[in-house]
Structures are given as C-alpha cells and as structure tokens.
Chain A
C-alpha cells in the first residue's frame, strides 16, 4: 500500500483533515470528497478498508440518527384517521432517538391483505415495528406489511388495559373487550396472564 495511506490509517482526525485523494481511495462514512480530495468530516479514527479501497472515520458515537429509506423503526401511534396513522418514531435501527421524528403509515402499506379501516390495524398509544419506505415526502412513509412488522404492544381503546392474545382473539386483560390489530409475529403479551 502507498506510504500515504499507511500514514493516515488509525490516526486521530478532526473534520477538515486531509485523508488523501479519490484516486487512492473512495470517501466512506464520516468523510467528504471535495473536488477529488477526501477530508475527514467527523471526529474519530481514520480507518482504511484496503479491499474496498475506502477510507472511513470511525467515531465513538456514530453518525447522527435520522430515518432513512429501509430503516427499521419502532414507533408509538400518535393518532389515527380512517386511512392513515401518524406515528412517533422513537427508535431507529436500534438507536433510541431522544426527540421523536414523525412518520406516516397509510392503510395501503399497513398489511399484506386488505384492511378496511386504520382502526383495525393499530390504535393510538400502540407500539409498532415498521420500516421506512420513502423519505422524499414531507413526512417519512412507513410500512407494516412486511414480515415481523406490525403492532408489538397494544392497549384497549376502551379502558387502556393491556391487550393479550388468547388463541386468535385479542382481548383486553382488564375489561375483556375484543379488538383487532395487525400484529407482528413477536407481539408482546402473547400469552394470557393467569387468572387470580
């Protein structure tokens, strides 16, 4: 490997430090390519990937977390309308976000089968696991129709009690109210609590 690359591999860098030129290696994460020269864009350790000829800056905290296409998210349903739900995104790719982003779940992306109304997919305060499918709109669009996606924790719309599955029926643990949801495979409270 060239002497230049040896010099920077493993070095501590701050934004603006020159790492090399694009002919040596491509600009990876934490770096920026300005007119063919690669500079560090974040604080951390410059790391070379010789097989992919890429230079990256490894930070201790990682890059800022924002919803991107394909991100797996966990959100709390803020409110529902007939055909869509507004979701507060509280986790993105296993990173907790301190200040939630808003996402939009349309009924056509909510389930692999036909759903008549959003109230049969999720209800406010439910926790859902979803995927971001589009960030080009003003609000990131979500889907729950894939495998493993859907409601992971649900609450009774009548009394606020936890909903539990008994067989195929989703029932409130407090008031025995029966509800419908688009459930994820790993829906929490999959077992009926023992009667006191």
Chain B
C-alpha cells in the first residue's frame, strides 16, 4: 500500500477540513458498552476511522503479589495497537509510545476510580487499537472509562476525552490522522465533567497562550458532548440487560 500523500490543503476555501468537517466539529462517534463476554466490563468506540476496544478485569487478586497495595487497588493499563491498525504493519511488541500512552491513560482514570474500596486487589484495563486514525489516546480513555463503568467498579465520575489542535494556523477540534501529522499542534484533554477536573493534558507542537486557552475551551465543550454520548451508551446497555433479566424472572415465575 503506497504511503498516503500529504494533502495540499488541510482546510479548503469554504473553511471545511479534508473530511468535510467544520473546524469545531467532532468526528462521528459510535459507542457500545458490554460487548465482550469474558471480560468483567468492556466498551467499543468508533470515532472517525478509529476503532478501539476496551476491556476491564477486576478487582481481582493482585499478581504478582508484591504489586498489591495495602490501602487501595492498583490499576494496570495496557494500551496496545494491533499490527493491522496502521498503514505499515506495526510490530506487536510494546513500543515506547505505547508504554507512555498506557501510563497517561491509567493516570487519567485513576483519580475517578474508588480504588480505596478494594485494597490489595488489581484492576486490569486493556485498550486495544484495532484501527488508528489520530486521537486514539482520547478515544481510548473515553472507551476505557465506559468499560470501567460496565464492570460495575465504583467511580466518582465517567471521564471523557477529546483533542484539539492547530492546522494551517487555525484551531481545530478532534484532529484526524493527517491533520495530526501535518498540522502544527495537538492538545489532548481528558475531562471529569461534573467536577471540572482535567486528568490528561498533553501538548505536541506549539500554541500561543491565547490559542491554548481557546483550544482548551473547545476541548472541554467537546468532552461534555462526548460525556452525554457515554451516558446514552450506558443507558442503552442497562435497558437491554434489564429486559433480559425481567424476561428471565418472568419465565421463572411461570415455571
């Protein structure tokens, strides 16, 4: 497969981006909760061309034993890109970048999980990138917090994440892969919406202080929009299970 060429323009005359979005527009997002049987909790997100699975196990007994903490549960996170998730085959071995993203995803979710309720245990979090299209750490956080909620792990809140960036001198929301590569800056943000807490803030490239402030505002608004989608996804799953449970109860009453 030939290397995709750098687009001549990231923004056209009408002010639209290469995928036809406005500057302040998110990519279409599809969220699903509880799609894996074997994991305690799981979620799936499609954001643009991103396809990401998140799975949660736990709280379970900590292995190896020495990582267990006497006052809280430990969270382990593994962000991993499938070999087929990018144009060129990616080695499945953990890269420097994947280790860093595992760490930042873990740290963006740790403050909301009530880990003190489950001392000496371990919560395992897997974020598997099936197809990557820029902004996968943010989409990964969005999916991972849904998976935690699906596992029934008590949390203070659900975390939503979104990136904002600069392309051709203009701030743009939710960068795609090409915009991330050929743009000037990328600013991923994870937000805990109700308590207005930011648990992830990174920056690649450069922004002026006023751009940064405006960009952060855009990202926060986008995170709030994503948060309401997360709520809808959980609600949909809840009602699906509820119907199954009620049907089962009914059939038991008849029997």
Contact = CB atoms under 8 A, between A and B. Distances in A.
Contact of B120 (A34, A62, A99, A138): A138
Interface string B103-133: 0000000001010001111000000000000
Interface stretch (A9-17, A118-126, A146-154, A165-173): A9-17
Contact of A15 (B68, B158, B238): B158
Contact of B59 (A44, A61, A66): A66
A144 interface: no
B235 interface: yes
Nearest to A44: B238
A41 interface: yes
Interface string B148-192: 011111111110000000000000000000000000000000001
Contacts of B57: 99
B151 A64 contact: yes
Contact of A41 (B150, B154, B195, B245): B154
The range of chain B's interface size is 35 or more
A16 B153 contact: no
A154 to B, nearest CB: 25
A20 interface: no
Count chain B CB atoms within 10 A of each CB in A15, A61, A62 and give the residue with the most: A15
A32 interface: yes
A43 B150 contact: yes
Interface in A1-54: 12, 14-18, 30, 32, 34, 39, 41-44
B95 interface: no
B149 A14 contact: yes
A189 B90 CA distance: 57
Interface string A125-159: 00000000001001000000000000000000000
Contact of B61 (A30, A43, A63, A100): A100
Contacts of A135: 119-120
